[in-house]
Amino acid sequence: MANPSVETVNTSDDKLILVAGVLLVLVGFVGFFCLWGQEWYFRGVALAVGVIAGVAVGLLSAPGKAFIAFAKDSYKEVRKVVWPTRKEATQTTLVVFAFVLTMAIFLWLSDKSIEWVIFSGILGWK
């Protein structure tokens, strides 16, 4: 059974656009290493231009446009989130710390009780 959420590139135009984007990114990396004797900022600009151009070309394809739509929808959803106030966050943190401390004490007492029963009661070690 195929996963319906997996998106494949079906048209040859989209494939060519994605290949062109990858090639531009590779050209940026090759330019970075070919300009070894130049100043670091020339090399950085070559790399940045290649990567930015490759990503921009890739975003022109159908999967790139779908990614842009997904990013916009995600941003809208994040804006709907109701974040806790400082007081609520502090109270929740204190409850978590209290629970962790309680569980630590409980587990320590359980461990020491079992240790006492086994070593002192059953095995008779002192």
Helix axis angle, 12-34 to 62-79, nearest 10°: 80
Please say if the pLDDT value at position 52 is more than 90: yes
Global pTM value: 0.55
Q: How far is CA 18 from CA 13, 22, 32, 49, 69, in A?
A: 9, 6, 21, 17, 18
| Structural contact between residues 28 and 51, judged by C-beta atoms closer than 8 angstroms | yes
Residues 6+ apart with CB under 8 A from 28: 46, 47, 48, 49, 50, 51, 53, 54
CA 112 to chain centre: 41
Q: How far apart, in whole angstroms, are the C-alpha atoms of residue 5 and residue 91? A: 39
Per-residue pLDDT tens over the stretch 77-102? 999 999 999 999 999 999 999 999 99
Per-residue pLDDT tens over the stretch 2-31? 556 665 656 788 899 999 999 999 999 999
